[in-house]
Amino acid sequence: MRRYVAGPGVGLGTALCTLALLAGCGGSDNGGGATSLNWFVQIQPGGSFQEVAKRCSDESNGRYQIELELLPTDASQAREQLVRRLGAEDSTIDVVGMDVVWTAEFANAEWLREFPEQEGRQVTKGVFDSVVDTATFENKLYGAPFNSNTQLLWYRTDEIKQAPTTWDEMIDEGEKIGPAGGLIQVQANQYEGFTAWFNALLESAGGHILSGPETVDLPKGPTDEALAVMGRLGNSPVAAPDIDTSTEDTARLGFEAGDSAFMVNYTFAYASAQANAPDVAKNMGFAPYPRVVANKPSRPPLGGFNLGVSAFSDHPEEAFDAAACLSNPDSQLTATELDGLPPSNQTLYTDKVVRKAYPGFADLVESSIDTAGPRPATAAYQDVSLAIQRSLHPPSSIDPDDVTSKYDELRSDLEDAVKREGLL
């Protein structure tokens, strides 16, 4: 586990609140009392964010009060709101809840403050290296890792005797069963989940989308192997009927319907099946994310939230303290208990809260996060992601026996994408 070494600290001066926008005046001093800090973050159904905000406010002993500003659950809509506010230098934002792929973009735009050395060491202690990487841009820390997430292979133990280890084996098994019970659920709508799928396949094959923030990598052999998997599944009779519009939620629902043998999805899928489809859940097995190449380990998707401090906050010192509290081990365990979110701190995977949330597969979640393949860190990330979606969607458009034209199209689109840095 990495120990973060920060660069020079940022200035921590305070100022009076001078700007009031739709969210109200954030960072204000309530009549000389506690400083009001606004935490913008996507809503979670279990109430974990509300709980940790209350606890950290109480533990500040009157120094600050954290107010939640809940963003839409849809990542694109949430990002758009943050981009517009931060682009306008909105001082009502103090703590920024960021999807892991936003950190580099926001840091490059100078919308985030670098964590000072002491706070940086505090918020990265015990955290997975793969997760610290998502909170870092140009070797500087801009995010406190709050939670992580990763995908597993879920399968029907009443249909499958032994979990497949590769995508080809999985498709073979599904086709033996047939569409009546052998469907395979993935995330292949034209959205960020599609990019996460392609990135995981490419990383598992031994390649990378980028070799630097503005340099396309995309090695031919591994990329061809990744594209062949997408094309084969997209054209298979056991692809889910809605594969071209599939998301994490439709995959969950499809698996719970009982006619799917396999699903790749995040950890929430287990609790959902337990609650909504107990007959399916009792035969729900779990295994590592499938490999692309038999002799190369898989690199599953990596998700989660990082907490940043806005460059425009009027109370950055309090905001750094709040971010450290909101992301500490107690807060992470609350998020696991109430919302099923995997901790970013690797030392917590022996805790009873985590073991209870992931019965029998807590160790698998830990190892999957540890070996996950993060999406590329680049200021042009949105353009990169959109280029992948435009080039490769739908997966049925990829000929698994001849991916050359798709490779050429993807590479050309990515070369254009890294030259643009249009956050808006």
pLDDT band with cut points at 50, 70 and 90 for residue 27: very low
**Rounded mean pLDDT of 179-203?**
97
**Distance between the two ends of the chain, CA-based, in angstroms?**
35
Q: By the 8 A CB rule, do 121 and 251 touch?
A: no
Which tokens in the block code for residue 389? 């979606």
24 has pLDDT over 80: no
| Residues 136 and 174 occupy one common structural domain | no
| Residues 397 and 288 occupy one common structural domain | yes
Amino acid 75: pLDDT: 87
Residue 28 lies in a domain: no
pLDDT band with cut points at 50, 70 and 90 for residue 423: low
What value does the mean pLDDT of the chain take?
Answer: 92
Amino acid 420: pLDDT: 78
Q: What is the largest CA-CA distance in the chain?
A: 70
Amino acid 23: pLDDT: 36
pLDDT band with cut points at 50, 70 and 90 for residue 9: very low
| Residues 175 and 242 occupy one common structural domain | yes
| Residues 98 and 139 occupy one common structural domain | yes
| Residues 334 and 295 occupy one common structural domain | no
Residue 395 lies in a domain: yes
Residue 394 lies in a domain: yes
pLDDT band with cut points at 50, 70 and 90 for residue 48: very high
Amino acid 74: pLDDT: 86
| Residues 177 and 250 occupy one common structural domain | yes
| Residues 133 and 71 occupy one common structural domain | yes
| Residues 197 and 289 occupy one common structural domain | yes
Residue 25 lies in a domain: no
Q: Strand locations in 284-413, DSSP E?
A: 284-287, 302-309
Residue 20 lies in a domain: no
Amino acid 1: pLDDT: 45
| Residues 181 and 142 occupy one common structural domain | no
Residue 11 lies in a domain: no
3-state helix, strand, coil in the chain (%, to 5): 45, 20, 40
Residue 50 lies in a domain: yes
User: How many CA atoms lie less than 13 Å away from 23 in the CB half-sphere?
Assistant: 24
Domain that holds residue 412: 151-301+378-417
157 has pLDDT over 80: yes
**Structural domains in the chain (count):** 2
Residue 259 lies in a domain: yes
- CATH number of domain containing 92: 3.40.190.10
pLDDT band with cut points at 50, 70 and 90 for residue 32: low
Give this prediction's pTM. Answer: 0.91
8 has pLDDT over 80: no
Q: By the 8 A CB rule, do 266 and 248 touch?
A: yes
**Rounded mean pLDDT of 57-72?**
97
Percent of the chain with pLDDT over 90: 89
Amino acid 421: pLDDT: 56
User: Tell me: the pLDDT tens digits for 376-409?
Assistant: 999 999 999 999 999 999 999 999 999 999 999 9
| Residues 316 and 280 occupy one common structural domain | no
**Rounded mean pLDDT of 156-172?**
97
| Residues 293 and 326 occupy one common structural domain | no
pLDDT band with cut points at 50, 70 and 90 for residue 33: confident
**Rounded mean pLDDT of 111-124?**
97
Residues 6+ apart with CB under 8 A from 159: 177, 181, 182, 261, 283
**Rounded mean pLDDT of 87-116?**
97
369 has pLDDT over 60: yes
Residue 336: its H or E element: helix 329-339
| Residues 100 and 193 occupy one common structural domain | no
